[in-house]
Structure 1
């Protein structure tokens, strides 16, 4: 491992000869012309890559051609992007800011050699935690673990914030209807995240607390918002005459004050080598998803993620969808200088997926210094936003079509809906109408429309990609999640930044503690007084 790390060059993007070549290709591809030509149909077929688990990444509507792709492949090789991924999954200390390994890939499979940290084989550690969760979930579902009255639990509520909420919540919502349609639904899941008391109050008002399990998720065991919400829930349980220790689980690290604590019915573990936004395939997502849908569904989810991880280890750019997506995105951000990317899932099940990707991408690659703390002279992560289609079409698509900024688009679509129920109206089903909108938007954004009325003219030239498959199920969801995790990782490597810490989150926390401790002065004190603090 030491030799592998030694052979890797961690250089800034603007020092690479391939990046200079890429800059010379700015604006070289007219996507409207490409998709209007006689060869357009063949381009749509050829510009596709297998993502695993039945998904395909299509980039025919991106502003790339064979020449651009050749330079992107050169950049991948010169920046040693796949070698850096290999170093990561073999146990290199890639998180330089916190001097930690980065091991979320190990939660779903062994890509390289065994990784031993803290005297533990980490793959075996994560497998054992998965098994513990599976055993616990089975006992809850079978009635071997019950409330004080011997009654089954029917609801699970996750208490956490950031990565302890956004990813697991998005994954649960993505699979809820699928599970119901396939007789895999076990328990309803709810989520409490915001320290705003109205959040916890609303969730508790919709719960039968006597038949609810609460999962407290905090790696450190010290997250202020999460511990505040835990106290809120415990108070509600006590007022209902219930013993919190019979209703609460902990997902934490073995070094936290929550570990092996008798105040919890059970404890499941993660560690410092898994960042919150990368934790959906760990116990953070595993506990709630296994309780909601069964351990087999969670295992399938991990299998889909592992399939995409394997593809991400391929050095061939055109056989590595996450790397290809990452480098096209880098071209759009660092060469074309597009400020944002819109993630547009044409699937209601993925309604919170863009919110998860906001954190994943912006918390990872929102950096202006390199991995050594030195200022960099090029732009890094884009703003990420999105809503499910067709809702977004009636919201912010106006700016996407005719606004002054070009915003690259990432569409996600499926041929079939999850419930397999539909109705024919005016000669087509709802699903067909949904997918027709996807294809129409891709072409409308790319090719635009001229009109004598400038207000009705569309410039076109708006690039997009399409990820598609037959249906959204546990395996496809796992592959989709891993695709974006690996895309963000590869972009961070190329920008030579550390995608695995988040110091930007910490400053506000520190100042908030000062406000609560009444240790303020100047403008901070004045702002606090505006809110009676």
Structure 2
């Protein structure tokens, strides 16, 4: 597969020229009814409204040309079929396939990557047996009681995605079941969770591909000590999600082990056993299947070459337009759904760990901007926090609003003629319009410049299936951007240096470093921090 530098595409030059006179949303007819109707895409129950982006027909045509030149859809299909994309040409790298899509490509007769899909099916079958055993009493605690709580212990992709999914779908939780999470190596994180639990009816799902992740290993030992102190056998309370044949694949120490594979990166692993175990415990097996079906439907739909009919591809290209051609360094993900309160945090990792790169797939330093800073919080809370900067600050922040026409629980109250859900969505739409149109006022402090880009993604209701679609939509948006920027979105070398230095500092704090190995800067830092 041949890759080209982002700045060499013909469409790059055309888009650079178009950006010099980009669409002004505050101009006369800059935002019109016709524009709002025209700049809309629909896909799998989602409507994507992007009339409030600073694009016109010429820009969209050029973005289509960029997608075609860069072969974004072709590379995406190759990824799904098992192309080795996790690599840097000519340099040592992980050199792996990228097959998170295989974890949900389990429903058709012709999966894109048959071997990986067969493994995913096998793990789903094991998960079903495990969940059925919890349900019918084959798996109980030492006193013959049912387990009512699961605590997932993992960090990074083993925490953020699964946590976001479990929170998003709490409305569908089975009676008497709850899921908690421990991620931080800060002992207060584990202590806060453990102190409220009945350990005798709690399962701990330890998630680590290598089985050697320092934070997770440390928290596991803390949990084992707590169980033993309570007179409980840890082997009857701990579940492992790990690499097959690794140090945690040990039936003498874990109730059961389910497997994760090297070709699924942590931040893309929420639809593998990394996310499915906790989700299945809380919601049941059928809800896991619905989530996977939604994700697979999006995987298939994202093969569409027409950017106007492919929402994740269009989102990726609009993001590139805002970032590389209009010069906006950040993007805010703003879900108007409390259930999605941790979804921006998951996307922050997924995007910034994937596309926070400065080396091309050929091993050269990039000469263009790559991944933006991604952040966000749910509305309407955010309106009373940081929206002041969005509307009147000197930094222009493109915003991506996510909302649903109906609430999950259906519990609502009418005040002044409208319900709470109507107020929520009205606020979301109003914010998009306010960012675009602005307002003139004789008082400069009350003037809104406007012309600030945003988009709206809206569906009927947040369900397991739509959550699967939404998750996959953003995964693909991130991958499409990485392909276009000619970077490897699937490694994470940037997290390694801090781990190495932390290990050196820990050796010195233990007092077992040889004097010759002690770096004077590290030594001084420890001393000045009061740790020596």
Which TM-score band applies after superposition, normalised by the shorter structure?
over 0.9
Provide the residue aligned with 1:68 in structure 2: 59
Paired with 1:531 and 1:349, the residues of 2 have a C-alpha distance of 42
Provide the residue aligned with 2:397 in structure 1: 407
Match of 2:292 among 299, 302, 315: 302
Q: Deviations over 1:186-231 (max 9, x none)?
A: 5100000000000000000121110000000000111000000000
User: What secondary structure does 1:345 align onto?
Assistant: strand
- Alignment of 1:55 with 2:46, yes or no, is yes
Match of 1:40 among 29, 32, 36: 32
Contact (CA 8 Å) 1:186, 1:293: kept in 2 or not?
no
Contact (CA 8 Å) 2:22, 2:55: kept in 1 or not?
yes
Provide the residue aligned with 2:450 in structure 1: 460
Q: Which residues in structure 2 correspond to 1:138-157 (within 5 Å)?
A: 138-157=132-151
Q: Deviations over 1:210-253 (max 9, x none)?
A: 00000000001110000000000000000000000000000001
- Alignment of 1:88 with 2:79, yes or no, is yes
Contact (CA 8 Å) 2:234, 2:253: kept in 1 or not?
yes
Contact (CA 8 Å) 1:32, 1:448: kept in 2 or not?
no
Distance of aligned partners of 1:353 and 1:114 in 2 relative to their CA distance in 1, 3 Å threshold: closer
Paired with 2:406 and 2:193, the residues of 1 have a C-alpha distance of 32
Paired with 2:284 and 2:454, the residues of 1 have a C-alpha distance of 36
Q: Which residues in structure 2 correspond to 1:71-470 (within 5 Å)?
A: 71-96=62-87, 97-109=93-105, 114-115=112-113, 121-177=115-171, 179-180=172-173, 184-185=174-175, 187-470=177-460
Paired with 2:522 and 2:20, the residues of 1 have a C-alpha distance of 46
Q: Deviations over 1:421-474 (max 9, x none)?
A: 111112211111111101110110001001111111010011001110111110
Paired with 1:315 and 1:114, the residues of 2 have a C-alpha distance of 18
Contact (CA 8 Å) 1:354, 1:387: kept in 2 or not?
yes
TM-score by length of 2: 0.95
- Alignment of 1:526 with 2:524, yes or no, is yes
Provide the residue aligned with 2:90 in structure 1: none
Q: May I ask how many residue pairs the two structures share in their alignment?
A: 516
Paired with 1:186 and 1:319, the residues of 2 have a C-alpha distance of 42
User: What secondary structure does 2:85 align onto?
Assistant: coil
TM-score by length of 1: 0.94
Contact (CA 8 Å) 1:31, 1:447: kept in 2 or not?
no
User: What secondary structure does 2:469 align onto?
Assistant: helix
The CA RMSD over aligned residues, in Å, is: 1.5
Distance of aligned partners of 1:515 and 1:39 in 2 relative to their CA distance in 1, 3 Å threshold: closer
Distance of aligned partners of 1:232 and 1:73 in 2 relative to their CA distance in 1, 3 Å threshold: same
Which consecutive segments of 4 or more residues in structure 1 shift more than 4 A? 110-114
Paired with 2:222 and 2:167, the residues of 1 have a C-alpha distance of 25
Paired with 2:268 and 2:224, the residues of 1 have a C-alpha distance of 28
Paired with 2:143 and 2:40, the residues of 1 have a C-alpha distance of 56
Paired with 1:531 and 1:277, the residues of 2 have a C-alpha distance of 35
Q: Deviations over 1:249-293 (max 9, x none)?
A: 000011421114410000000110000000000000010000110
Question: How far 1:315 moved relative to its partner?
Answer: 1.2
Paired with 1:61 and 1:531, the residues of 2 have a C-alpha distance of 53
Q: Deviations over 1:273-328 (max 9, x none)?
A: 00000000000001000011001001101111111111111111111111110011
Question: How far 1:113 moved relative to its partner?
Answer: 5.8
Paired with 2:523 and 2:97, the residues of 1 have a C-alpha distance of 40
User: What secondary structure does 1:379 align onto?
Assistant: coil
Paired with 1:370 and 1:186, the residues of 2 have a C-alpha distance of 50
* Unmatched runs of 5 consecutive residues or more in structure 2: 88-92
Distance of aligned partners of 1:114 and 1:76 in 2 relative to their CA distance in 1, 3 Å threshold: closer
Question: How far 1:77 moved relative to its partner?
Answer: 0.7
Larger deviation, residues 43-52 vs 306-315: 43-52
Paired with 1:436 and 1:39, the residues of 2 have a C-alpha distance of 18
Larger deviation, residues 196-205 vs 510-519: 510-519
Question: How far 1:336 moved relative to its partner?
Answer: 0.8
Contact (CA 8 Å) 1:31, 1:61: kept in 2 or not?
no
User: What secondary structure does 1:189 align onto?
Assistant: strand
User: What secondary structure does 1:24 align onto?
Assistant: helix
Contact (CA 8 Å) 1:138, 1:294: kept in 2 or not?
no
Paired with 1:114 and 1:406, the residues of 2 have a C-alpha distance of 41
* Unmatched runs of 5 consecutive residues or more in structure 1: none
Contact (CA 8 Å) 2:85, 2:96: kept in 1 or not?
yes
Question: How far 1:57 moved relative to its partner?
Answer: 1.8
User: What secondary structure does 1:509 align onto?
Assistant: helix
Paired with 1:152 and 1:113, the residues of 2 have a C-alpha distance of 37
Contact (CA 8 Å) 2:25, 2:31: kept in 1 or not?
no
Paired with 1:27 and 1:135, the residues of 2 have a C-alpha distance of 60
Larger deviation, residues 21-30 vs 351-360: 21-30
Distance of aligned partners of 1:143 and 1:521 in 2 relative to their CA distance in 1, 3 Å threshold: same
Distance of aligned partners of 1:219 and 1:38 in 2 relative to their CA distance in 1, 3 Å threshold: closer
Distance of aligned partners of 1:309 and 1:28 in 2 relative to their CA distance in 1, 3 Å threshold: farther
Contact (CA 8 Å) 1:343, 1:409: kept in 2 or not?
yes
Contact (CA 8 Å) 1:31, 1:62: kept in 2 or not?
no
Question: How far 1:142 moved relative to its partner?
Answer: 2.5
Question: How far 1:38 moved relative to its partner?
Answer: 8.9
Question: How far 1:185 moved relative to its partner?
Answer: 4.6
